[in-house]
Amino acid sequence: MGRFLRHHPEYLMAAFVMVLVVGLALARSAGLAITLGAETPVAASATAADERTWYDLGVEVWDARCFSCHADLTYIPELFLADGGRAYLLEMMLFGVRGEVVIEGASTNLRHRAYASLADEQLSAVLNLMLVAWGNDEALPADAEFYTPEEVAGARTPERSNEEVLERRPNPWH
Amino acid sequence: MHRHAIGVLWVVAYVLVVSSPLLFMAVRPVPPARPVLLEASVALGFVAILMMAIQFVLIGRFQGMSTPFGIDILLRYHRHIAAIALAFVVLHSLMLVVHDPALVAWYDPIGGSWASRTGAWALYAFILLTLLSIFRQQLRLGYEAWRMSHTFLGIAALGFALVHVFLAGRYVTTAWKAWLIVAICVAMVGAYGYIRLVRPALMRRAPYKVAEVRPERGRVWSLALQADGHPGMRFLPGQYGYLKLGSPYSLDEHPFSFSSSSEQRGRLEFAIKELGDFTNRIGQVPPGTTAFVDGPHGSFSTDLTPAPGYVFIAGGIGIAPFISLLRTLADRGDPRPVLLLYGEKRWEDVAFREELDALGNRLRLDIVYVLEKPHEGWEGETGFVTEAVLRRLLPREGFERHVFICGPNPMIDAVERALVACGVPERNVTAERFDLV
């Protein structure tokens, strides 16, 4: 065995890398990561003990419903901060959206299904998650208003069509 | 620095580069935590990309890298690491499917999103290039065509994988992460481009002319090159070079051991046996043909392995580097004792035997021929270089000679085992294999 590994360091390296991979995967799935520099206040509040619940719930919804289509939604803060963006994101999640929009000069077919079947807590959690994940928290002002389950409940009526949601969409990227 | 220390350094550097993308995953900003299977899948994908990128330099014939290992060993690493990387890539995709069976749709090369499509393309390009390499002979794919396809499929697989990382990427959202992975991949492919394009351009300035093609015994040819307008090449006895006839950009290049003395620079000789398409035509190469030599390469040299004496064990055309070593040692008036065991089928096929006799007068050289098919009346050793033969012939001395072996792979394997059985420490044995592709 020792002779084999001395003659084939490539397998030793592969085994070592596998150990790193498994260790990292375990750490990441537990939500652990290294922070370089100081954390922003928003990120800190997002991970505060009393808010762990919505964060975990958001991650659960994201993994089950969003992950298979979406990569990092790093543009969320820009959309959220645009005029009417905060309401649009919520309505888009509740009623879906469909139609042509112009993004950076190119006509783009926008299409998103409705997630009204999700609970108020689930919807607000996943929306808030998108506000803070992937470094989005750094683009968010300290006084940014997070979504609440009550707010989601209130937005369920009146029901809006895909077209109505599209009309109410701000476009920061003409 | 000692060669083995350099070798260890390279291995450590390799592990560091390959695992560097795991940093992306460990350092914030990072996406929300996901199930362990997904995270492991992503990590494997990242590692596999870096392994693929480094494949380009493993075969790049960089002297600093090839000297501690030997190019034959690097090529073996290249193949084994390819197998490991392919296993990682397949595992990467399978883990996603285990996590969510619906993701099996991502194997569709035209369906899904661009993120999944490019990932699938990278996977298929990688599988295709592996199959072409394994079944090249059965597919009757010519060496050059295979090499072209290998290069392009390799670059395509790496390119698609990178695009896949950026489209699917939840980890390369920060500039330094994106730059790090792109920079490493570009550097690796760039190094390969350097070997394929820049080095041949430099080689153009050091052309050689075929001076002589001389027949030796046993369908072996001595091909002599004369440096044309430059002082020639400095090499260590026992090293080898890639010979290209015609253009320096030709992919039709073949590694041959130098057989000339390293003490004469302007004239290089190769000992080439008729064993295939290219080598069968060597005898017809007209003098005056332009030639280029990529080299020197290899660590099969007494100059890199000082010892108080040597045992050279040659099988067939494996004699070539030893001719260079012996001619060089003779030119230098080296006083150290050398025992040469030289296995060949028939006595009349023993290439260079007249010259070896002459070298015996200039060196402390003992030669033992081992004939597989001895003629009537042969009184020397017969069969193969076995443990029994070695026990009889290995000198009993108060010092440890270094043993060099060059020959066909099965012979090298057998002799290595026999040497171990005779109690020769592994560190005192160096072998050169020539099963390049």
Query: A87: Cβ–Cβ under 8 A, 6 or more apart, which residues?
Result: A155, A168
pLDDT at B100: 84
* Residues of chain B under the 70 pLDDT cut: 1-3, 32, 63, 67, 70, 169, 434-437
- CB of A8 within 8 Å of a chain B CB? The answer is yes
| Nearest chain A Cα distance for residue B180, angstroms | 16
Shortest CB distance from A71 goes to which of B28, B36, B167?
B167
Residues of chain A with C-beta less than 8 angstroms from the C-beta of B29:
134-135, 138
Predicted confidence band at A88 (pLDDT cuts at 50, 70, 90)? very high
Domain B3-201 has CATH 1.10.10: no
Residues of chain B with C-beta less than 8 angstroms from the C-beta of A29:
33-36, 38-39
- CB of A31 within 8 Å of a chain B CB? The answer is yes
Q: Report the candidate in B213, B221, B216, B217 with the shortest Cα–Cα distance to residue B345.
A: B217
The Cα B104–Cα B86 span in angstroms is: 18
| Nearest chain A Cα distance for residue B302, angstroms | 22
- Give me the residues of A, 64-123, that contact B with CB < 8 A: 67-69, 71-72, 74
pLDDT per position as a tens digit, B109-138: 998 788 889 999 999 999 999 999 999 989
Please give the order of strands across the beta sheet that includes B402-406: B381-382, B365-371, B338-344, B310-315, B402-406, B429-432
pLDDT per position as a tens digit, A44-57: 344 444 455 788 88
pLDDT at A45: 41
Which H or E run includes B74? helix B71-99
The full set of domain ranges for chain B reads 3-201, 208-297, 310-432
Domain B208-297 has CATH 3.40.630.30: no
Q: What angle do CA A35, A131, A154 make, to 5 degrees?
A: 150
pLDDT per position as a tens digit, B394-429: 998 888 999 999 998 899 999 999 999 999 998 899
pLDDT at A37: 57
Regarding predicted confidence, which is higher, A4 or A13? A13
- Residues A63 and A122 sit within 8 Å (Cβ to Cβ): no
Inform me whether the pLDDT recorded for A69 exceeds 70: yes
pLDDT at A16: 93
Fold of the CATH domain B310-432: Rossmann fold (3.40.50)
Shortest CB distance from B173 goes to which of A35, A55, A74?
A74
Nearest CA in chain B to A35: B28
The ipTM is 0.73
The pTM (predicted TM-score) of the whole model is: 0.65
Q: Over chain A, what is the mean pLDDT?
A: 83
pLDDT per position as a tens digit, B42-81: 999 999 999 999 999 888 777 677 767 767 778 888 999 9
Predicted confidence band at A7 (pLDDT cuts at 50, 70, 90)? confident
Nearest CA in chain A to B74: A10
pLDDT at B279: 87
Predicted confidence band at A41 (pLDDT cuts at 50, 70, 90)? very low
